[in-house]
Amino acid sequence: MDRREAVARLLGDSGALVVTGLGNAANDVAALTDQGDHVFAMDGAMGAAVSVGLGLALAQPERRVVVVTGDGELLMNLGTLATVAVQQPANLTVICLDNAAYELTGGQATHTAHGVDLAGVALAAGWPAALTVGGPGDLDAARKLVDADGLAFVLVKVDPGNTPYDRLDRNGQSIRLRFRRALAGDAHLD
Amino acid sequence: MTWPDAVYGVLRERDTRQFAYVPDSGHRRLIDLAHDDPDVRAIPLTCEEEGVGIVAGAHLGLSRAVLLMQSSGVGNCVNFLSLIQHCAFPFLTLVTMRGEFGEQNPWQFAMGRAVEPTFHAMRVATLRADAPDDVVPVVEAAIGMVDRGGQAVAVLLGQRLLGAKKFGQ
C-alpha cells in the first residue's frame, strides 16, 4: 500500500495532535498537513516518538494524540510499548508504517522483514486494540481506531520506497514553540 | 519532615504532573508518594531514555514532568537528550548517585564517574546535593533554572546523602 495514501486516510482532518518519528514518517505527515502547528515532526532522536506521544497524551487527556512512526524507529525502543500499556492512556493511537526496511540508509531489512509482528507485540504487552492494515480495504476500520476513545495500535504494511518532502522544518526550537503556542492559543507563550 | 517528603512537596508546588522513573532505593519515598497521589501520574519505565521523551512530551502538552533515575541509567539517555538539546526543551531530572562516596560494588564506578561528563556533553547542567539540608534549596534552584530559565538540569543526589549500600555483611 502507498504510505502517503494510508497516512492521508488515517489522519486527514482528524484534529489530533500528532508526533512523528524520524525519516519518511515525518515527511509523510508534514506533506499531508503542510507541517501544521499541531504536528511535532521529529527528524532525529530515533526511538523517542512513542514516549514523547505518551507524555503528551497524559498531559492533554481531552485531546486525541496520534504517533506516526516507522518500524525501524519503533524497534529501537520496543520497551515503550510496555510502558504505554501500563499507563493505558485513553486518547492515544500509534500508527506504525511498516515497510520492513531501514529505507533511508539503503533499504536494509528490519526485524519485521524476518517475521517480527509489532501489532502482536503491542497486544502481548497489554494494548487493548491492535490492528494490522494489509491493504486499502482495512483503512476504514483503522481510521475508527484513530478517532475513537481508547488506546490503539495500528500497523500499516506499506510499500518500500522513500517519500521525500523537501520543506520539512528541522528547526527543533521553532517546531516546539509553534506546537505549544497553537495548543495554548497564546502567541506569547515562552 | 525528611528531605524526600520535602522534595516531593517542592515538585508538586511546581505542579509536576508526571513522575517518570526507573526504581532506585534512593528514590523510593518519592516514587511511593507519586503512586499515592491521585493528581499525578507515576510512570514506571523499562529504560531511562523513555523518561526523557515523556518529559519532552509533557512540556509539549503544557504540563510538567520529572525523571527520577539512578546514575547507572544516565548513559541510557544520551540519544534522547539530543531531542532536549536540539529543541531546547526545559528538562528536570533527579539522579541518585552510585559509584562514589563509600561505594562497595565495583560495577557501579564506571557509570558513576561518567555521569557528569555525559550530562555536560549533552549540555545538561548538573547541581549536586550531598547533605540533607542541601537538597531542597538545590532542587528549588534547579526548578528555577528549568521552568524560568528554560534549561536542562540534573540534580545529583550524592551517595554521601543517600548512604552507601553495604555488601557482604
Instruction: Give per-residue pLDDT as tens, A148-178.
Output: 999 999 999 999 988 889 999 999 999 999 9
Q: Give residue-wise pLDDT tens across range A71-111.
A: 999 999 999 999 999 999 999 999 999 999 999 999 999 99
d(CA B115, CA B98): 10
Q: Which of B60, B67, B86 to mutate to test the interface with A (most CBs of A within 10 A)?
A: B60
The per-residue pLDDT for A188 is 61
Pairwise CB contact (< 8 Å): B53 & A52: yes
> How far is Cα of residue B14 from the mean position of the Cα atoms in its chain?
15
Phi, psi of A121 (to 5 degrees): -65, -45
Q: Is the dihedral of CA A38, B50, A44, B147 positive or negative?
A: positive
- In Å, how far is B77's CA from the nearest CA of chain A? 10
- pLDDT tier at A7 (50, 70, 90 boundaries)? very high
By C-alpha distance, the chain A residue nearest B22 is: A83
Query: 3-class SS at B37?
Result: coil
Q: Nearest Cα to A10, choosing from A151, A140, A148?
A: A140
Q: Does B18 sit within 8 Å of A79, measured CB to CB?
A: no
Here the cell at position B165 is 549500600
Range of lowest pLDDT (A99-103, B41-45, B58-62, B162-166) = B162-166
Query: Is the pTM value of this prediction over 0.95?
Result: yes
Q: How far is CA A44 from CA A28, A83, A105, A165, B82, in A?
A: 15, 21, 14, 16, 8
Distance CA B44, CA B22 (A): 6
Within 13 Å, how many C-alpha atoms sit on residue A12's CB side? 9
Chain B: give the shortest CA distance to residue A63, in Å: 10
Q: Per-residue pLDDT for B85 more than 70?
A: yes
Which bin fits A88, alpha (ψ -120 to 50), beta or left (φ > 0)?
left
Nearest CB neighbour to A51, from listed B41, B57, B59: B57
CB–CB contact A48 B79 (8 Å): yes
Interface-testing mutation among B17, B31, B54, with chain A (most A C-beta atoms within 10 A): B54
Q: How confident is the model at residue A26 (pLDDT cuts 50, 70, 90)?
A: very high
Average pLDDT estimate for B154-168: 88
Residue A68: the pLDDT is 98
Judge whether B12 is closer than 8 Å to chain A, CB to CB. no
- C-alpha of B21 from chain center: 8
